[in-house]
Amino acid sequence: MKTTPSKTNDFPVRERLLDAADRLFYQEGIRAVGVDRLLQEAGAAKASLYAHFGGKDELIAAYVGRRIEAARADIDQYLEQFPESERALRFFDFVVEWTLKPDFRGCPVQHLVGEIADCTHPARVLAVTQRQWLAERFQRWAKAAGANDPERTAGALQVLFDGAVSASLQDGPKRARDARWTAEQLLGRR
């Protein structure tokens, strides 16, 4: 009699844990999802969590790291088709498209910062690096767009991004479109 491997055995346990964390943490919140629920969703034993990650905090960091890596790749891929002088504005087109996705639930880095107050938490450290990465991009793009004060413009663009993503949870892509319009004004592209 031939047996079919179960769904949980088809995929390495580390990836199953990460996939479950990704789904549950993003949709329901990091603190709302307990270890037992995560293990059940992943079809994994508690010993597997500790063997692969050392605990929930390290799994949270791995989840955030994975999200950051994917976001950077998506942003870079989307923007590579445009000259650097257009990327600050085109980034907000990317944000509009992101807010239109059916599973959009905001920025996972913003969620993390709101849920975990400890600045030394490994996931918070990753969140800081993501914020710096985005700030550097905004500054480079603002300079290429001819902004008089690229550093200050970059700060304003980051605030626009934060507000657009947060407000889009309630208002859909409208706030992301408003942020794009504001970026046009800020960069003198009326």
At residue 41's C-alpha, the angle toward residues 40 and 46, to 5°, is 45
pLDDT of 171 reads 83
pLDDT of 98 reads 96
pLDDT of 190 reads 53
pTM equals 0.88
- Consecutive 10-residue runs of the chain (190 residues): their mean pLDDT? 44 94 96 96 95 96 97 98 96 96 94 95 97 97 95 96 92 92 86
pLDDT of 35 reads 95
**Token reading at 69:** 């890596």
**Token reading at 113:** 């910062």
- Sorted by where each begins, the domain ranges of the chain are 9-186
User: CA 71 to CA 187: how far, in whole Å?
Assistant: 24
**Token reading at 148:** 């008089």
Q: Which CATH code fits 9-186?
A: 1.10.357.10
In this structure, the dihedral spanned by the alpha carbons of residues 47, 15, 39 and 67, taken in order and rounded to 10 degrees, is 120
pLDDT of 10 reads 54
